[in-house]
């Protein structure tokens, strides 16, 4: 009888351990799946003020309340979830500002996606406003399919869906637009 009870207890303990092992294995697989589908930034910064210089000259100043760096994933990017304020300075010292509520910069494609109340203002009074704007860093080219409004220094304006233009506003291509152009005689 003692041997029977001892064998039953041993069998029950074995069944319990095997059950626990398979239960834990299932939980481990769930945890592995969660870690594969979610990602965590490799870097995080609050209240950044980054200055880019070339040959001792400041070329741009980037300010943002928050920056998240995801450089450890297959398609790395840097995210600015609370917006950006960028000042671009040309060789003559003229400044252009770019402001948006949100921005994301993709490292492999060198494309920056600006979203939410995007405004570009030049020192000479030119201004472009839209809800989303892309910037191709390699070609120094802006583009959007969203509605835009462009105002020049003379008070004229153009607006419509879709536009692409050079970073200095010298080349400007519109899909469909309407507006008012003011000319001044010199």
DSSP collapsed to 3 states, the chain: CHHHHHHHHHHHHHHHHHHHHHHHHHHHHHHHHHHHHCCCCCEEEEEEEEEEEECCEEEEEEEEEEEEEECCCCCCEEEECCCEEEEEECCCCCEEEEEECEEEEECCCCEEEEEEEEEEEECCCCEEEEEEEEEECCCCEEEEEEEEEEECCCCCEEEEEEEEEECCCCCEEECCCEEECCCCCC
**Please, what is the average pLDDT of the chain?**
81
Indicate if the pLDDT at residue 145 is higher than 60. yes
As a whole number, mean pLDDT of residues 26-48 equals: 71
The gap between the terminal CA atoms of the chain, to the nearest Å, is 117
Quick one: pLDDT at residue 36?
53
Quick one: pLDDT at residue 17?
60
Quick one: pLDDT at residue 186?
45
Lowest mean pLDDT among 17-26, 60-69, 73-82, 130-139: 17-26
Which pTM was predicted?
A: 0.72
As a whole number, mean pLDDT of residues 11-36 equals: 56
CB 68 within 8 A of CB 43: yes
- Residue 24: pLDDT band (50, 70, 90) is low
CA dist 65 and 43 (Å) reads 14
Indicate if the pLDDT at residue 18 is higher than 60. no
Lowest mean pLDDT among 26-35, 38-47, 49-58, 70-79: 26-35
pLDDT digits (tens, 9 = 90+) for 106-115: 999 999 999 9
Q: What are phi and psi of 38, to 5 degrees?
A: -110, 150
């Amino acid at each position: 009888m003692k041997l029977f009870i001892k064998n039953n207890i041993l069998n029950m303990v074995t069944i319990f351990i095997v059950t626990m092992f398979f239960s834990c294995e299932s939980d481990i697989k769930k945890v592995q799946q969660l870690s594969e589908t979610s990602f965590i930034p490799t870097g995080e910064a609050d209240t950044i003020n980054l200055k880019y210089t070339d040959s001792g000259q400041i070329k741009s100043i980037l300010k943002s309340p928050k920056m998240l760096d995801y450089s450890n994933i297959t398609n790395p990017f840097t995210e600015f979830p609370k917006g950006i304020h960028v000042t671009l300075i040309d060789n003559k010292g003229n400044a252009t500002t770019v402001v948006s509520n949100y921005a994301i910069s993709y490292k492999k494609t060198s494309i920056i996606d600006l979203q939410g109340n995007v405004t570009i203002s030049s020192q000479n009074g030119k201004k472009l406003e839209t809800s989303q704007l892309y910037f191709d860093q390699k070609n120094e080219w802006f583009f959007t399919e969203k509605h835009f409004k462009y105002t020049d220094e003379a008070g004229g304006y153009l607006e419509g869906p879709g536009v692409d233009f050079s970073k200095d506003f010298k080349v400007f291509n519109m899909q469909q637009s309407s507006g008012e152009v003011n000319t001044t005689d010199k």
